[in-house]
Amino acid sequence: MSTIHLHRTTRLTPEQYISGLTDFGPGRSKLFGNSADAYLKVHHRGPTHADVTEGSNGIWERLHYDWSDPEHVVLTTTDSNVWGGASGHIYTFTHRPDGTTDIDVVVVRDGKNLKGWLLGFVLRTIGRSVLETAFENSVKAIEQRYADALQRGRIAA
């Protein structure tokens, strides 16, 4: 099993990042590169929960999203072609006095077959940078989304 801890400080509020994280519409791959539109299927969505299948490059997982606590979002893998067991993501948001937000993410990858075990090993060793880059890119993309909306006057500063 691989457990990877990621951290980023952003000018986004937790609500803004969660809004991007839970946007399951077309173009999701612009925010999350590992979530190709061809794999995306929303099975159910409520006000604070969702059941979604997503993935890319031959790897998919069905995730239960729970954002009922605005400072702690949990994505639990309920099915996958490679991940099982305790797999998922936990996002923790901390407001900073300067108005920024710390986002801490714990990614757990528990392989359920040979492909999953091999991918988990790669993530644990040399693949961590792939997850770091994907996380960094998601934060930048959501920041840009809000900057663009602010510039167009669609949201207040």
The tens digit of pLDDT for each residue in 9-31 reads 999 999 999 999 999 998 899 99
- Is 94:104 a contact under the CB 8 Å cutoff? yes
Residue 38 lies in a domain: yes
Instruction: Check pLDDT > 70 for residue 115.
Output: yes
In tens, the pLDDT along 141-150 reads 999 998 888 8
* Torsion from C-alpha of 144, 5, 95, 64, nearest 10 degrees: 80
pLDDT at residue 137 in the model: 96
| Model confidence, pTM | 0.92
Task: Give alpha helix (H) positions in 32-127.
Answer: 114-124
Q: Is the dihedral of CA 18, 23, 130, 111 positive or negative?
A: positive
What residues make up the domain containing 25? 2-151
Pure H helices in 3-157: 14-21, 28-31, 114-124, 128-151
Higher pLDDT, residue 103 or 34: 103
Per the structure, how many domains does the chain have?
1
Contact 100, 10 (CB under 8 A): yes
CATH number of the domain enclosing 74: 3.30.530.20
DSSP states along 128-147: HHHHHHHHHHHHHHHHHHHH
Residue for token pair 């091999």: 118
157, part of any domain: no
Look at residue 156 and tell me if it is in a domain.
no
Given a cut of 60, is residue 61 above it in pLDDT?
yes
* Any domain includes 29: yes
Does residue 154 have a pLDDT over 70?
no
